[in-house]
Structure 1
Amino acid sequence: MNMLLTILLALLLCSNSWAAATITIVNGDPAGVGFNDPTPVTPVGGNTGITLGAQRLNAFQAAASKWGETLDSNVPIRVLATWEALPCTDTAAVLGSAGALEVFSDFPGAPQANAWFGKAETNKLIGFDADPDTPDIRARFNVNLGQPGCFTGSPFYLGLDNNHGSNTDLVTVLLHEFAHGLGFQTYTDDETGELLAGIPSIWDYFLLDTTTGKVWTDMNNAERVASAIKSGKLVWNGVQVTNAAQVVLQAGTPILTVLTPPEVAGIYQVGTAAFGPPLSSPGVTGEVMPVVDTPPDLGLACVPLSDLNTRAVRGKIAMIDRGTCTFVVKIRNVQEAGAVGTIVVDNVAGAPPPGIGGSDPGIVIPVVRITLEDGQALKQAIARRTRTHSGMYANLGVNLGIRAGTDPLGRVLMYAPRPNQPGSSVSHCDTSATPNQLMEPAINADLRHEVKPPFDLTYPLLKDIGW
């Protein structure tokens, strides 16, 4: 503790003040590391720093400025930040993390009794620093990004203009992680359902399971565990976010609608493809026929379809399985066989169904991906079929009555994947949101440096919890 206080006193670096809030970056790095790295660099994208450390600090201050001009607090918000070696490989990396260092409940003037609030929000609500000896937010960022073995050759982009190309934009990541530290998270364990010291987070009062009609504060531990993996059924029940979603999110959510047979009729979650025509309304309706070319009862479509499979899918929606070859190869083969659309069944359990990657301008039929569980149910329903007819009819399209990333009542979906993803589940927006949102579990390349409407829902959510 004494060493930490010495660092705070000796290395305090302040950002400028803004009318709404002041955010201070506390440099916790030792000499020569992170913010103190003296490596010469060339100014880039409006970042005028001439050392690597200075550019990193400038990026932090740019993110602090954006949040500072957005928030309303007369108590400075202090972020203790360091650059460290975080887990990474050539294909996956922890970019950074941030969270509240302390939480408080039942303080005078708390807008909700029996609820944890992060320190920065607590300070805003009480009007003074509840613990002057401790920073409000702890942030760590990956010092090795771009080095051999850690996204080799793809470091953080340190410019302030978001022209990051194929690299990861540091300012965007900072805006995301600072939001977690400001309160965009639950302090309840989403794996065990256990409340922190027996008290729910303010977050938990707004998490609604639409299958049970319960918010997390009304559940027991087992119910919270089950709710955390109900993809498409866990929503944010806050007025600010629900209203803002009508401005921020795109009208029309991609869906697979099975019309017949009645035992499987209904709406199914889908992942959409990066290639082919976007789903539209009224979309493509047709009879669904599976490709069967690999035992046991799989249709990989990795080679041109046989005569039997070609006759089965011509003029119909082909159902194929993920695996062995790329998505574009599969879709090309069923398209050339005459299919008018494709349903790809995942080959691993879990939800929601991810998107489909790849690129092929020659693909002109719509494509969706569904979960393994949904695929098995559909296959079972047409297990007894003829060689050219299944009796299953479906539509690949969009529901214009539902915004992308909300439920039918307009409530924003929260990320509740199956299986649970610690560190990501529950404390992020669902990946179905369109346009992509800052607080989705992964940083998308098309994000703006924005945190509020008409572009983003992050600030409205913080308003819901009391900011």
Structure 2
Amino acid sequence: MKAAKSLCRMAAALACALAGAGAAQAAATITIVNQNAPGIGFNDPTPATPVGGNTGTTLGQQRLIAFQQAASIWGATLTSAVPIRIGAAFVPLACNTTGAVLGSAGAAEVWSDFPNAPRANTWYPAALAAKLAGVDLTAPATPHIVARFNSRLGLFPDCVPGLTFYLGLDNNAPASQIDLVTTLLHEMGHGLGFQTFTDDETGQQFFGIPSVWDYHLVDNRTNTPWVAMTDAQRQASAITWRGLSWDGPNVNAAVPTVLAPRSNLNIGGANAGGAAGNYFVGTASFGPALGTTPVGGQLMPVVDQANGTGLACTPLGANNALAVRNNVALVDRGSCDFTVKARNVQAAGALAMVVVDNVAGEVAGLPGTDPAVTIPSVRITLADGNTIKATLQQRSRTKSGVVATLAADSTQLAGADAQRRILMYTPSVNSPGSSVSHYTTEATPNQLMEPSINDDLGHTVTPPRDLTFPLLRDIGW
């Protein structure tokens, strides 16, 4: 059986002439099929200066070379006797002055009950189905994976002006650019099978058939796999924070070698009251990582806004500087980069920084790079921040009676459940195309298959840095 499926992370295949192709020869052959018309996308003749090992002399050439580089990395990692075709194009995608869709990719077709299928009545993505069958199941020249990337990003005033793709191959993108090869590795991972074909919003299986993914995705409260749940149960689990884990032998074996100890915020002290206890935190990609030696002190809020919040986007005034000196600074998210906040509270003498989110949701990290930041920083949810702030109403200029202690908990892994299985991304409000088919944002170090591309990612998909390939092995690669 075969069915072509449109996914939130997959653009529909375009009926356009092939303008060229590039192949990566390795343990698997991956061919980039250029689906752009002349003069645009991969064929854009705009002159470009070679950068970071990318020798292309036009914008289009450099884009294609970056695609071929990502294909080479995946080709050297995978094993398949059947060449994999990626139908790719740069096209205008949704964007405005502050945000944009970078790109998307996914399986062009899904297959079940093909020759040598490990599981009957189960959907497999086209490239994996071909590998397992030993023969190409799709029509000649039909892509196994479809990829679309934003041709307008940073190049037009209405599409995040100035924020462009870094087309170098050296994993040395400046902070002002987005590394295209890293982004491609992520999206190609989806096309290779890092996704479920079951609807994460409704819990309904595609044509009543489960995805191979669903056999390893488990509700960690009941240890029930998705394949054994009802639609309603799947729907509920997809919006349960920290509720879904990946339970596959290859990922489980690699998790302890990849994930770091979980960072923890403990609130205590004489005035902690009902806020006393441990809190989940998102960690920063800048500043020192938390170790087992605690960093702590009185928790003191920065207050520099009329509504009582503290943004710390400018150097702290005398009163705020006095409050945070030799203490832990509590600041609010918003208006400036996290690194700016960290520099300002550090300059005032703070020992550490705790950032309270400004929107409801789950914990997330603190992106950014700044070698000048030497204090640790973490991020907590808006709900947790409000709970903690309530205990800080009665305080002196230098003491609150609420003690914040930051440390790594060596008994827990960042981004894993109590059984040391990596968590999946399940925000309490469903995010179509992102929920379920990504790793958690709590993982440390950041993983390639989190829903956002982080600054500290490398061009790697394997342990001891990354858990992408182990998951693909779990589903049959």
State the percentage of identical aligned residues: 54
Q: Give CA deviations for 1:116-137 in whole Å, capped at 9, x if unaligned.
A: 1101101111111222243211
1:270 aligns with 2:281: yes
> Aligned partners of 1:23, 1:219: CA distance in 2, in Å?
36
Shift of 1:321: 4.4
Who is 1:78 aligned against? Answer: 85
Who is 2:208 aligned against? Answer: 198
CA contact (8 A) 1:264 1:377 kept: yes
SS at match of 2:88: strand
> Aligned partners of 1:287, 1:83: CA distance in 2, in Å?
52
Unaligned runs of 5+ in 1: none
Who is 1:398 aligned against? Answer: 408
Decide whether aligned partners of structure 1 residues 115 and 385 sit closer, same or farther in structure 2, where only a CA change above 3 A counts.
farther
For 1:355, give the aligned amino acid: L
Shift of 1:49: 3.0
More displaced 10-residue stretch of structure 1: 351-360 or 229-238: 351-360
Who is 1:130 aligned against? Answer: 137
Structure 2 counterpart of 1:162, from 138, 156, 171: 171
Q: Give CA deviations for 1:422-460 in whole Å, capped at 9, x if unaligned.
A: 222221122232332221222223322212123221111
More displaced 10-residue stretch of structure 1: 330-339 or 238-247: 330-339
1:243 aligns with 2:223: no
Shift of 1:29: 1.3
Superposed, 1:49-448 pairs within 5 Å as 49-133=56-140, 134-149=142-157, 150-165=159-174, 166-249=176-259, 251-258=260-267, 265-273=276-284, 277-286=288-297, 288=299, 298-300=308-310, 304=317, 317=328, 319=330, 321-322=332-333, 341-355=352-366, 361=372, 366-379=376-389, 382=391, 393-448=403-458
For 2:291, give the aligned amino acid: S
Shift of 1:189: 1.9
Q: TM-score, normalised by structure 1?
A: 0.84
> Aligned partners of 1:199, 1:344: CA distance in 2, in Å?
44
SS at match of 1:412: coil
Decide whether aligned partners of structure 1 residues 454 and 364 sit closer, same or farther in structure 2, where only a CA change above 3 A counts.
closer
Decide whether aligned partners of structure 1 residues 326 and 203 sit closer, same or farther in structure 2, where only a CA change above 3 A counts.
closer
Q: Give CA deviations for 1:209-251 in whole Å, capped at 9, x if unaligned.
A: 22343222233333323322333342211111121222233x3
CA contact (8 A) 1:352 1:418 kept: no
CA contact (8 A) 1:231 1:352 kept: no
> Aligned partners of 2:19, 2:369: CA distance in 1, in Å?
47
Q: Give CA deviations for 1:379-438 in whole Å, capped at 9, x if unaligned.
A: 55x489676987755521111233333233321122222333222222112223233222
SS at match of 1:226: helix
For 2:119, give the aligned amino acid: Q
The count of aligned residue pairs is 456
SS at match of 1:453: coil
CA contact (8 A) 1:154 1:167 kept: yes
> Aligned partners of 2:293, 2:118: CA distance in 1, in Å?
46
Q: Give CA deviations for 1:237-283 in whole Å, capped at 9, x if unaligned.
A: 1111121222233x322111345778655432112346665422231
Decide whether aligned partners of structure 1 residues 332 and 181 sit closer, same or farther in structure 2, where only a CA change above 3 A counts.
closer
> Aligned partners of 1:70, 1:195: CA distance in 2, in Å?
30
Cα-Cα RMSD = 3.5
Structure 2 counterpart of 1:33, from 40, 51, 54: 40
Decide whether aligned partners of structure 1 residues 339 and 200 sit closer, same or farther in structure 2, where only a CA change above 3 A counts.
same
For 2:293, give the aligned amino acid: P
> Aligned partners of 1:452, 1:463: CA distance in 2, in Å?
11
More displaced 10-residue stretch of structure 1: 94-103 or 168-177: 168-177
SS at match of 2:82: coil
Decide whether aligned partners of structure 1 residues 266 and 193 sit closer, same or farther in structure 2, where only a CA change above 3 A counts.
farther
> Aligned partners of 2:328, 2:55: CA distance in 1, in Å?
55
CA contact (8 A) 1:351 1:419 kept: no
